[in-house]
Chain A
Amino acid sequence: MPKTVFVGMSGGVDSSTSALLLKEQGYRVVGVYMKNWSKDLPGMKCPWAEDLADAKRVAVKLGIDFEVWDFEDAYREKVVDYMLAEFKKGNTPNPDIMCNQEIKFKLFYEKAMEAGADFIATGHYARVKQSSLLRAADENKDQTYFLYRIPEEALAHTIFPIGEMVKPEVKKMAEKHGLHNAYKKESMGVCFVGEVGMRDFLKEYIDVQPGEIQEVETEKTLGYHEGAVFYTIGQRHGLYLNGEKGAINDGLPYYVVKKDLKNNVVYVSKNLNDKNLWTNELKLKDIFLRREMGASQPVFARLRHRAPLIPAKFDGKKLIFENEIKRPAPGQSAVIYDGEVCLGGGIIE
């Protein structure tokens, strides 16, 4: 009797090839499209029905069962509401991390197990070895940054079929097997809404007020913003000052260094050495550790998806860096690694 794997299929090439590999490895494979979001925004058609059709077309091609599981209510509550609340606080949350923690590796995992699964699988670039979460073979694509919080129990029953492959191999394999979506464009923007930027999405859900953009050193008003929540500390582009984008008179760019949500003021500076932009330690909250580690143990931290690994130490509450780093936005995650093993991480305060 072959083992049963429920594989989350998004309609993209990564999860499609994952299903293909599992099928070839002799598993009984059930493809599941997780319907997390289907609402259109004005002038923007949510691509869910097309993605679903892509996933289903592949499932039919592979001759595997296929189901649609509706997680819209939970997604709205656990991911979107969380995200909106964080933005309202002035933070920059990461909805993908929350989606993996609450939906894919919780609700989907639980429902699959109830339905008789031995394992679940997704098209993430990551690896599991002896219940440890490992970075993907394709360092360029590694998605462990998004997976550091997934529950241990789910991880123990998870297969990442493409974790040992690099993206070009995945595409080639899909093409070789006649999968129509081998070269489907990767979705940009807010993952669940499609080709729409976060700003456009937030505009629909957060009531924002325009306000002033001030130079932090002089408190001089340089221009106006559409709403302070749209701005991220350290952000450079997208600032319209005196009608010019990101630059003023002398051509030097401005950076967001501070936000005053109460008075709805965004502070900027031309001074790249502004103290708000740099730090040599980061305090973390909502820490999720997959492994114990000593305070003196040298580790690496990743502060954004695909960002370089930075040498650091973690004392259980904060990350300490040898050199100053550019301060990441509060609400983003810091993920900690020992070699290729993901040790966990936390949310930057």
Chain B
Amino acid sequence: MIYLDHAAATPVSRKVFEAMEPYFLSDFFNPSAAYLPAKKVAADYEAAKATIAHAIGAKTSDLVITAGATEANNLAFTAINARGRVGDFSGTGVAPARRYGRSAPSFSVVTSGHPLKIPTRPRILYLVTEHDSVRRVAEQYGGEAIRVLPSGLIDLDDLKTKITDETELISISLANNELGTIQPLAEVAGIIREVKIDRMKRGIKTQLLLHSDASQALNLLDINVARLGVDLLTLNAAKIYGPKGVGALYVSHDTKLKPLTMGGGQEKGLRSGTENVPGVIGFAKATELAREHLNGNRKKYASWRKILLSELQGCEIINKKHTLDNFVVLCYNGIDAERLIFLLEEKGVYVATGAACAASKGRKSHVLKAIGLSDAQIAGSLRISLGETNTDEQIHEAAEIINSVVQSEYERIRHA
């Protein structure tokens, strides 16, 4: 097997698995229990959280553990309704953006029997290429999409024009899950800082937060929340050789959120439910390993990427620059890439078209569309994401197999 889809899922690494094991079998206690063995589990849990927090330059108390990145993204958006203000009608709930279409210029609030039109502008901006776990939530809140350039990078001019006095939250992933594009978050943070200063001068107290989904990046980029200038940051264990169903949301100390799950008040009341101790222990171990091997892996992936770019034939490279080292996104003109996937799977090579979620719903990738690819180009696009399961030999072999399969498809089409 040659697995080239590490952006979709990674295996749990042996060391992570071994670190987790005792917490399933012997140290299974509920961290909230009163006896000493449970207290030890609670301490281990906190230590694991500290490991994760410190890896991104945050404090342990800034981290909320969630059941995966999707939940962390959902939780981040509660910042919108967490601060109730006098006269803030927009806090009445979710704006009916879907019903009125993308622009959602206004919605009515009933006060003393008279429908009153209150103009509202979007309070959320999000990058058009975001993962569905951001996009769908943002749409629910009536958010507005920011364009990307053909390179996949954020169109900063578009961002500047779309920020208004109502904007409260801007969500931009650190690295895109289909293209690997690394966004210039620090620049965005700079723009946000200017807007905030301007608002202060004019006495406008509306918050303006920056959220970033860094699910794809913890093992591929050096992440520091202060340097990035984010208020909210989503992390995901499942993409860094940790367990699935474990994620975290970094929440800067002055950002207020509202819980999505009520109960025993764990995670500072933001995420009730008995702590997933083995999951977080695994997440911490995976984070530790990711940081330890960060530079070595990046170099390795970059060299493999180079090999693929030079050996793969008959394709156009989609993610030319500003990309994670392990992403190779290709387009084979006139070929149905899904056919390639099925042909490659027969030879034990696993790759992806677009995001796995989008593919399983039979939808075309909104990301590839956003960077201006035609329908035919989108249909011919393959995503290769390299990772720790790969070896030098595999890369050459994969290139050879992909080339031969592509060749056979071109021949089949010619004869049809």
Q: What is the bound-complex CA distance between A301 and B353, given in angstroms?
A: 51
With A63-B412, A65-B416 known as contacts, the answer to whether A49 contacts B342 (CB < 8 A) is: no
- Kindly state whether residue A250 has any CB partner on chain B within 8 Å: no
- Kindly state whether residue A52 has any CB partner on chain B within 8 Å: yes
B349-367 interface with A by 8 A CB criterion: 360-362
- Kindly state whether residue B311 has any CB partner on chain A within 8 Å: no
- Kindly state whether residue B346 has any CB partner on chain A within 8 Å: yes
Q: What is the bound-complex CA distance between A56 and B353, given in angstroms?
A: 14
Cβ contacts B128-162/A at 8 Å (1 or 0 each): 00000000000000000000000000000000000
Min CB distance B220 to A, Å, is: 29
Q: Is the CB of B342 within 8 A of A60?
A: yes
With A56-B338, A56-B339 known as contacts, the answer to whether A61 contacts B362 (CB < 8 A) is: no
Q: Is the CB of A61 within 8 A of B346?
A: yes
Q: Is the CB of B416 within 8 A of A57?
A: no
- Kindly state whether residue A38 has any CB partner on chain B within 8 Å: yes
Cβ contacts A29-56/B at 8 Å (1 or 0 each): 0000000001000000000111011001
A239-287 interface with B by 8 A CB criterion: none
Residue of B nearest to A65 (CB): B416
Q: What is the bound-complex CA distance between A76 and B201, given in angstroms?
A: 58
Q: What is the bound-complex CA distance between A49 and B362, given in angstroms?
A: 5
Q: Is the CB of B339 within 8 A of A49?
A: no
**Set B336, B343, B360, B412: member contacting A49, Cβ < 8 A:** B360
Q: Is the CB of A52 within 8 A of B362?
A: yes
Q: Is the CB of B339 within 8 A of A60?
A: yes
Q: What is the bound-complex CA distance between A189 and B126, given in angstroms?
A: 40
Residue of A nearest to B342 (CB): A60
With A56-B339, A63-B412, A65-B416 known as contacts, the answer to whether A50 contacts B346 (CB < 8 A) is: no
With A49-B360, A50-B360 known as contacts, the answer to whether A61 contacts B342 (CB < 8 A) is: yes
A53: chain B residues at CB < 8 Å are 338, 360
Q: What is the bound-complex CA distance between A293 and B351, given in angstroms?
A: 60
Residue of B nearest to A68 (CB): B362
Interface contacts (Cβ under 8 Å), in number, total 22
Number of interface residues of B (CB under 8 A): 11
Number of interface residues of A (CB under 8 A): 13
Q: What is the bound-complex CA distance between A252 and B377, given in angstroms?
A: 65
Min CB distance B89 to A, Å, is: 30
Q: Is the CB of B361 within 8 A of A49?
A: yes
B360: chain A residues at CB < 8 Å are 49-50, 53
A48: chain B residues at CB < 8 Å are 362
Min CB distance A155 to B, Å, is: 28
B361: chain A residues at CB < 8 Å are 49
A56: chain B residues at CB < 8 Å are 338-339, 342
Residue of A nearest to B361 (CB): A49
A49: chain B residues at CB < 8 Å are 360-362
B362: chain A residues at CB < 8 Å are 38, 48-49, 52
Q: What is the bound-complex CA distance between A52 and B363, given in angstroms?
A: 12
Q: What is the bound-complex CA distance between A66 and B360, given in angstroms?
A: 18
Residue of A nearest to B343 (CB): A60
B321-379 interface with A by 8 A CB criterion: 336, 338-339, 342-343, 346, 360-362
Q: What is the bound-complex CA distance between A174 and B336, given in angstroms?
A: 24
Residue of A nearest to B339 (CB): A60
Residue of A nearest to B360 (CB): A49
A61: chain B residues at CB < 8 Å are 342, 346
Min CB distance A117 to B, Å, is: 14
A183-223 interface with B by 8 A CB criterion: none
B212-236 interface with A by 8 A CB criterion: none
Min CB distance A233 to B, Å, is: 39
Q: What is the bound-complex CA distance between A63 and B405, given in angstroms?
A: 12
Cβ contacts B402-416/A at 8 Å (1 or 0 each): 000000000010001
Min CB distance A179 to B, Å, is: 12
Min CB distance A196 to B, Å, is: 18
Q: What is the bound-complex CA distance between A65 and B339, given in angstroms?
A: 10
Q: Is the CB of A57 within 8 A of B342?
A: yes
B336: chain A residues at CB < 8 Å are 66
Min CB distance A66 to B, Å, is: 8
Q: What is the bound-complex CA distance between A53 and B338, given in angstroms?
A: 9
Q: What is the bound-complex CA distance between A50 and B412, given in angstroms?
A: 25
A65: chain B residues at CB < 8 Å are 416
Q: What is the bound-complex CA distance between A48 and B361, given in angstroms?
A: 8
Min CB distance B360 to A, Å, is: 6
B342: chain A residues at CB < 8 Å are 56-57, 60-61
Cβ contacts B384-416/A at 8 Å (1 or 0 each): 000000000000000000000000000010001
A39-96 interface with B by 8 A CB criterion: 48-50, 52-53, 56-57, 60-61, 63, 65-66
Min CB distance B416 to A, Å, is: 6
A60: chain B residues at CB < 8 Å are 339, 342-343
Residue among B339, B343, B346 with max Cβ neighbours from chain A (10 Å): B339
Residue of A nearest to B336 (CB): A66
Q: What is the bound-complex CA distance between A65 and B409, given in angstroms?
A: 11
B412: chain A residues at CB < 8 Å are 63
A50: chain B residues at CB < 8 Å are 360
Q: What is the bound-complex CA distance between A47 and B338, given in angstroms?
A: 18
B343: chain A residues at CB < 8 Å are 60
Q: What is the bound-complex CA distance between A120 and B10, given in angstroms?
A: 44
Q: Which residues of B contact A (CB under 8 A)?
A: 336, 338-339, 342-343, 346, 360-362, 412, 416
| Given A38-B362, A52-B362, A56-B342, 10 other A-B residues pairs in contact with their CB atoms under 8 A | A49-B361, A49-B362, A56-B338, A56-B339, A57-B342, A60-B339, A60-B342, A61-B342, A63-B412, A66-B339
| Interface pairs A-B: 9 shortest CB-CB | A49-B362, A60-B342, A57-B342, A60-B339, A49-B361, A65-B416, A49-B360, A60-B343, A52-B362
Q: Which residues of A contact B (CB under 8 A)?
A: 38, 48-50, 52-53, 56-57, 60-61, 63, 65-66
User: Would you list 17 pairs from A and B whose C-beta atoms are within 8 A, ordered by A residue?
Assistant: A48-B362, A49-B360, A49-B361, A49-B362, A52-B362, A53-B338, A56-B339, A56-B342, A57-B342, A60-B339, A60-B342, A60-B343, A61-B342, A61-B346, A63-B412, A65-B416, A66-B339
